[in-house]
């Protein structure tokens, strides 16, 4: 929609929209494309609206939250024809092309549930400016479920490229940075809140490795008390936890589960590939896992000792084993198991 065209058009709703379409901005308007939606909007606002009129997102969401949204929550208890009617009303309002851009971080926002392709940056920024209005995203309490998504009762933070999700300072006033996935998981563990991927934050709130400082984690505002998320996103979160554990745990803990051990880690620690370590693991039968260490961990400690020739006190420090004597006992146990199970073959 060109600026020239927007200059000649206005949002027809009184009490708030007196500026031309080009003043509202292309990202903050929608176009009425069907007669049914025009009649529904006319009935709601008491103002004649016809096909081709533009309507600002602020007024559209007044209509959406009170009419379309309320009806959609009754999907499970109404007839199929009523469900179709709700979906038709939603599809009648067509966003302009500039609002069709899908940022990756929008995939975790509750606004996408009803199939609305609008710019989360503009609408969350607008709700921040109109805090007294009932259009604020923070006022949303219920989320409708889309078939390919799951609604989780987990708090969600704001996601925007236009302001900081902690202090809501606008982009440009101070340098902003995007949180890494590890930092998002850190917030979830400490606050039980998910921050949509791509959310920006003031540098003053972050550590040198772009993690949110502890004193600011409790200050993160809540955008919604639930979140809609796809199965792929859930899988990526679990993978993120695995990667985080790999990066933060010591060598001893990294070998607790053989499935997540990489070939590179095996070579650097033991001098053998993952397949070769797995072969040794299967051949030795006499070692049994305990609460303190697994069979694999015992074998790796012994192989590391043989590879490096370091004294057992140094190995205890590297593997964060409390006592040097424990390392000695592990190596003796593995050596005896090798002599019993492996050497005779």
Look over the chain and give the mean of its residue pLDDT values, rounded to a whole number.
70
Residue range 41-61: mean pLDDT, rounded: 79
Q: What global pTM score does this model have?
A: 0.34
- Position 4 scores a pLDDT of 45
Query: Which pair of structure tokens corresponds to residue 56?
Result: 């600002």
Q: Beta 150-152 vs 176-178: how paired, if at all? A: unpaired
339 vs 187: CA distance, rounded Å: 49
pLDDT of 142: 37
Q: Give the tens place of pLDDT for each residue, 54-97.
A: 777 777 777 777 776 555 544 444 444 444 444 444 444 444 43
Lowest-confidence segment of 113-127, 188-202, 231-245, 249-263 by average pLDDT? 113-127
**Cα–Cα nearest to 164, from 191, 192, 188, 128:** 128
Asked if 259 contacts 326 with a C-beta cutoff of 8 angstroms, the reply is no
Q: Which of 91, 156, 159 is nearest to 122 (CA)?
A: 159
Mean pLDDT check: name the lowest of 82-96, 251-265, 314-328: 82-96
**C-alpha closest to that of 194 among 103, 109, 118:** 109
Average the pLDDT over 218-223 and give the result.
Answer: 88
Least confident of 84-88, 141-145, 168-172: 141-145
Q: In the chain, where does DSSP find H-type helix?
A: 3-7, 21-24, 35-45, 57-63, 69-72, 80-92, 120-129, 181-191, 214-217, 231-248, 251-254, 263-270, 274-283, 295-308, 312-318, 324-337
CB of 16 closer than 8 Å to CB of 10:
no
| Range ranked top by mean pLDDT from 7-11, 115-119, 142-146 | 7-11
């Amino acid at each position: 929609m060109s600026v020239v065209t927007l200059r000649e058009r206005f949002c027809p709703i009184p009490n708030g929209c007196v500026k031309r379409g080009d003043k509202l901005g292309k990202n903050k308007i929608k176009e009425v494309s069907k007669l049914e939606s025009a009649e529904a909007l006319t009935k709601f606002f008491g103002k004649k609206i016809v096909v081709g009129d533009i309507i600002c997102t602020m007024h559209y969401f007044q209509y959406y939250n009170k009419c379309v949204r309320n009806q959609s929550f009754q999907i499970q208890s109404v007839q199929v024809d009523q469900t179709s009617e709700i979906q038709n009303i939603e599809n009648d309002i067509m966003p302009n092309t500039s609002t069709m851009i899908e940022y990756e971080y929008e995939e975790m926002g509750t606004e996408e549930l009803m199939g609305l392709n609008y710019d989360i940056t503009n609408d969350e920024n607008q709700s921040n400016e109109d805090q007294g209005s009932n259009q604020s995203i923070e006022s949303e309490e219920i989320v409708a479920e889309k078939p390919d998504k799951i609604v989780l009762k987990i708090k969600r933070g704001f996601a925007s490229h236009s302001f900081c999700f902690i202090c809501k300072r606008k982009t440009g006033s101070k340098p902003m940075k995007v949180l890494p996935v590890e930092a998002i998981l850190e917030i979830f563990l400490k606050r039980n809140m998910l921050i949509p991927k791509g959310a920006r934050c003031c540098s003053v709130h972050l550590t040198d490795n772009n993690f949110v400082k502890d004193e600011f984690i409790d200050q993160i505002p809540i955008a919604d008390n639930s979140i809609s998320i796809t199965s792929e996103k859930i899988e990526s979160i679990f993978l993120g936890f695995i990667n985080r554990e790999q990066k933060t745990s010591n060598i001893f803990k990294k070998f607790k589960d053989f499935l997540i051990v990489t070939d590179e880690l095996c070579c650097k620690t033991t001098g053998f590939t993952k397949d070769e370590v797995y072969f040794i693991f299967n051949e030795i039968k006499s070692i049994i896992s305990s609460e303190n260490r697994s069979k694999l961990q015992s074998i790796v400690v012994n192989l590391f000792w043989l590879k490096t020739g370091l004294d057992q006190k140094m190995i205890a420090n590297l593997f964060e084993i409390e006592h040097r004597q424990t390392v000695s006992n592990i190596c003796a146990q593995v050596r005896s198991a090798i002599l019993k199970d492996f050497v005779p073959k």
